Structure 1
Amino acid sequence: MSTNTTDVLVVGAGNAAMCAAHAARERGKRVLVLEAAPKDRAGGNSYFTAGATRITHDGLESLSDLIEADERHDTTEVPPYSKEEYAADLKRVTDGRNDPEMTSILISNIADDMRWLKSKGLRYRLMYERQAYRRPDGGYLFWGGLHVGNVDGGEGLVRDHYRAAEESGIEILFGARALRLVQADGVVTGVVYERDGEEHTVQAEATILGSGGFEASKEMRAEHMGPQWHHAVTRGTPFNTGTMLNEALRIGAAKGGDWTSCHATQWDAGFADNESNYEVTNRLTRQSYPLGIIVNRDGRRFLDEGADFRNLTYAKYGKEVLMQPGAVAWQIFDAPLRPMLRPQEYEVPGVGEHVADSLEELARDAGIDADGLLETVRSFNDSIRTSVEFDPNVKDGRSADTVPPKSNWANPIAEGPFYAYPVTCGITFTFGGLKGDSQARVLDQNGAVIPGLYACGEALGGLFSGNYPGGSGLAAGIVFGRIAGRSAAS
């Protein structure tokens, strides 16, 4: 077994881990990053994202120094998104179970920290295709508090991180899977890792865990979240198996956040290779559901598709699908609605899609109970508040007074051809992690700091429970990754 040394050791090479590495390196430390995946599969879940990052700002003009120019900006309205709104969204969607101190740190730092990343070569843009519909006058109105994302999505995010790392002298070992934490007199002094079938040891002054959650481990999912989670599809990296979380717990670290819940979306159930697909990445998500209805095998609706903006509900609706018979459901749209669906998701070659001229034929083709679907659609159509004008850019109050209700964006499913998209539960990341302090130092079960050990990203629990506001995961990775890197370097 060989041994080498470094100042700061980072486990993982996704967004949070790389932010930690950048922060430590710019303070003059030697930084070594261990990435379990080979280079062409590296980046953790960050590679699979659309790059959307929730940031506070005062409107489009205030973002001009961050985002790339676009000719559409002249006809675009981007409502300001304040710290107060950010905090309120986090509190609301987690039912108040978010850690107040972590929330304050996140919303106070994200705007400056994204500009810090831009200075290192990361690139940002307005996310027209995900967060705005074109208005009748040809302009755009952004909605939902989530407006900015990385150029080229998650792939661009990871590529830019690695380029910045190479330029600054950060060393990344790909295909290096961390196995065990090493301690001496209660201080974490490094990691044992496996590469090419051989074990090696890295000794470090500080070790940062940016190695993700346990979403790729069916066994840990079933243990902590319930047996039904064994059947969820891993939509992101297959390398986040919770190994280093268990290692931290083994040496006495305290759990942080909600270990019983996760980020889980509606995921294409008809695509042939729908698990950890590095070619299609996040395009197998199905996020135009607020425009239509979602039914189960019995043809029955089971949630409010229009309860809120998509980016405030999508991360919890995967679980709702998992709880349905066969862990499957169908998003239903008619001909007028179909052109509004996101083409980057609903027009992927090989997409799970059923098309028919009648609802009866659609049900037979998709495997939905026809009588149930017909009754659901009839009841839904008859209950729509048609006196209210449909507007997908705002919570329009165009509701359907049925069971369950649809609070916004209710449009009749009435004009063929009709479309059904099969979805299952795609798990993105788990919300439970390690307990940390304001400096991202890992705490033990008595609240004391474990010397030499830090955590960031999905490995640091506390911000999310049951649900999360879209784009706040990457934001948290940036903020707490930078904090972890600075703390480890000092």
Structure 2
Amino acid sequence: MSTYTTDVLVIGAGNAALCAAHAARDEGKEVLVLEAAPQSRAGGNSLFTAGATRITHEGLESLADLIEDDERHVRTEVPPYSAQDYADDLAKVTHGRNDPQMTATLTANIAEDMRWLKAKGMRYRLMYERQAYERADGSYLFWGGLHVGNVDGGEGLMRDHYRIAAESGIEILYGAEATELLVEEGAVVGVTFQQEGQSHTARAAATVLGSGGFEASAEMRAEHLGPAWRQAVVRGTPHNTGTMLRSALALGAASGGDWSSCHATQWDAGFEDNESNYEVTNRLTRQSYPLGIIVNRDGQRFLDEGADFRNLTYAKYGKEVLMQPGGVAWQIFDARLRPMLRAEEYEVPGVGEHIAETPAELAQKAGIDPQGLEATLEAFNSSILTEQQFNPNIKDGRAARTEPPKSNWAHEITQAPYYAYPVTCGITFTFGGLRGDEQARVLQSDGTPIAGLYACGEALGGLFSDNYPGGSGLAAGIVFGRIAGRYAAS
């Protein structure tokens, strides 16, 4: 058994964990990172994201020092997004169950902290392909409060993180799976870990858990989310199995946040290798659903596809699909809507897709009840408020007054060919974690900190419940990762 000794030990090597590592290194500390995945599969769930990060700002001009130049900027409108807007969106989607102090910390620090990463070499851009539609005059209007993302998405995010870590002298051990926290005289002094079948020990003055949630454990999903969640497809890393969460709880750590809910999206059910796919990563998500309708195998709609901007609904609609018969559904579009779908998702080679000249033929190809689909389309098309103009850049109020209603972006589905995309539930991350304080120290049930133990990212609960605003996960990883690393170093 080998023993490693360092100043600050970080468990995990995703966005939050590496922000903690960078922050500790900024304080002049020696930093060791343990990453369970091999180097070719490292990056946690962050690798599987689109890199979208929700940031406060005052409009496009205020972002000029952060984002890369683009010739489209002169034709682009980016509405301001204030700290109050951010807090309001968090409260809205979580039904007020977001921790107010964590919310205030996130909204107050994210703009500065992204510029901290920018100064280290992180690269950001406006996400035209995901957050804006080109208007008739060639201009762009960004919507939904989520405007900025990493160059090259999650892959670019993690590539930049690893380059920054190497340049600053942070040591990363790959294939090193932490198994248990080490405790001496009531303080955490490191972990035991497995690497290449051998047991090792890593000791440190402070340990930061950036090791994710428990979404990759079917047993823990069933225990905390419900039996149906055994069938959910794991979108991201297969290494987030909750091992460190269980170890911390066994020491007396208090749980934080909502352990009964998670981030889950509509995920391609027809792609042959749709679980933890490191080549396709995020591109198996299906997020153009606000333009069309979603039906189950009976051909019936079961949710409001236009309830709000996609950024504020997509993370909860995976659950709605999971609860349908067979845990599957289909997104339905026609020839006029199809060109508006995001190419990086709906044109992946091997994508699950059915095309037909009639709704009945489409239903037969897809495995949907034909009569049910035809009846749903007839009721939907005939109930649209046609006096409202269809406009995907705003909440246009073009509603379908059917059951369930579609509140915005209701467009007649009447023009052949027709398209159906099978989707299932893809789980991204769990919302339950450990309870922390303003220094990201892990707390016991009596509110006192566990000496030497910090948490960030998905391991730190309290910010999300039932749903989350798109891009706030990476943002929280940056802010609380930096806090954890800074205080761990002190």
Q: What's the TM-score once normalised by structure 1's chain length? A: 1.00
Deviations 1:8-30 (A, max 9, x none): 00000000000000000010000
Corresponding residue number in structure 1 for 2:387: 387
* Aligned position for 1:433: 433
Partner of 1:414, secondary structure, is coil
Residue 346 (structure 2) aligns with: 346
CA distance in 1, matches of 2:165, 2:278: 22
Report the Cα distance in structure 2 between the residues aligned to 1:136 and 1:419, rounded to whole angstroms. Answer: 25
* Paired position in structure 2 for 1:459: 459
Mapped pair 1:164 → 2:164: yes
Match for residue 56 of structure 1? 56
In the alignment, residue 100 of structure 1 is paired with which amino acid? Answer: P
Indicate the residue corresponding to 2:129 in structure 1.
Answer: 129
Percent identity of equivalent pairs: 77
Q: Does 2:62 match 1:68?
A: no
- Deviation of residue 4 (structure 1)? 1.8
User: Shift in Å at residue 42 of structure 1?
Assistant: 0.2
1:365 is displaced (CA, Å) by 0.4
Matches of 1:294 and 1:356, distance apart in 2: 17
Question: What is the aligned partner in structure 2 of residue 224 from structure 1?
Answer: 224
Q: Tell me the alpha carbon deviations over residues 198-239 of structure 1, each in whole angstroms, 9 at most, x when there is no partner.
A: 000011000000000000000000000100000000000000
Question: What secondary structure does 1:141 align onto?
Answer: strand
Structure 2 partner of 1:328: 328
Q: CA deviation at 1:446?
A: 1.1
Give the 3-state SS of the residue equivalent to 1:415 in structure 2. Answer: coil
Partner of 2:83: 83
Show the counterpart of 1:450: 450
- Which residue of 1 is the match for residue 402 of structure 2? 402
Q: How many residues align?
A: 490
Quick one: distance in 2 between partners of 1:272 and 1:4?
42
The secondary structure found in structure 1 opposite 2:229 is helix
Shift of 1:475: 0.1
Distance 2:300 2:323 in 1: 13
* Correspondence for 2:242: 242
What's the C-alpha RMSD, in Å, of the aligned pairs?
0.3
TM-fit CA distance, 1:445: 1.2
Distance 1:429 1:80 in 2: 28
Partners of 2:335 and 2:48 in 1: how far apart? 30
Give the Cα–Cα distance (whole angstroms) in 2 for the partners of residues 196 and 421 of structure 1. 41
Equivalent in the alignment of 2:143: 143
Q: What residue number does 1:189 align with?
A: 189
1:152 aligns with 152
| SS of the residue 2:377 aligns to | helix
Structure 1 residue 118, shift from structure 2 partner: 0.4
> Partners of 2:228 and 2:143 in 1: how far apart?
34
Alignment of 1:30-45 (within 5 A): 30-45=30-45
Distance 1:180 1:86 in 2: 36
Distance 2:337 2:197 in 1: 53
The amino acid of 1:231's aligned partner reads Q
> Which SS does the other structure have where 2:156 is aligned?
helix
Q: Which residue of 1 aligns with 2:24?
A: 24
Q: Distance in 2 between matches of 1:45 and 1:334?
A: 33
Which stretches in structure 2 are left out of the alignment for 5+ residues? none
Gaps of 5+ in 1: none
Partner residue of 1:282? 282
Instruction: For 1:143, give the aligned amino acid.
Output: W
String of CA shifts for 1:396-426, please: whole Å, max 9, x gaps: 0000000000000000110100000000000
Deviations 1:175-210 (A, max 9, x none): 000001000010000000000100000110000000
Residues 37-64 of structure 1, C-alpha deviations (whole Å, 9 max, x = no match): 0001000000000000000000000000
TM-score, normalised via structure 2 length? 1.00
Residue 333 of structure 1 deviates from its aligned partner by 0.2
Distance in 2 (CA, whole Å) between partners of 1:224 and 1:13 is: 25
